Amino acid sequence: MRVIKEGHQYVLDGFENAVEGSQYLQFIDKEPVKPDSTELVTISDGTTNEEVLEVLIDRMKYLQAKFPCRENAIAITNLEQALMWLEKRTADRQKRGVEGKHEK
């Protein structure tokens, strides 16, 4: 893995053909509209942490069905917990009316 833009854009290596740059991962990138504004504007569209976790959960469940083991089961549980906490954070921010804003 190589960071292109910290927190937002990454280059991932292939596994069997470990050539750098075979995969890109782009997260959504938002910045305040104005320096002192809490309103955000999208600079680069991309995915979210939640979406990546959903992909990982799906993949781990697929692998667990083929090659079941305790470690896979624990990894799935922890990925599902991570997703649950991020979804809770979003729900809490929506309740407070600060989701999508640069506010705590």
pLDDT value at residue 35: 85
Binned average pLDDT, 10 residues per bin, the chain of 104 residues: 94 77 89 88 95 98 98 98 97 90 76
Per-residue pLDDT tens digits for 20-49:
667 899 999 999 988 888 889 999 999 999
For residue 42, give the nearest of 90, 85, 8, 82 by alpha carbon. Answer: 8
Are both 29 and 57 inside the same structural domain?
Answer: no
- Co-location of 4 and 52 in the same domain: no
Statement to judge: residues 43 and 70 lie in one domain? no
Q: The domain containing residue 30 runs over which residues?
A: 1-47
Contact assessment for residue 41 and residue 28, using Cβ atoms and an 8 Å cutoff? no
Q: Is the same domain home to 103 and 52?
A: yes
Cα of 84 vs its chain's centroid, Å? 13
58 and 41 belong to one structural domain? no
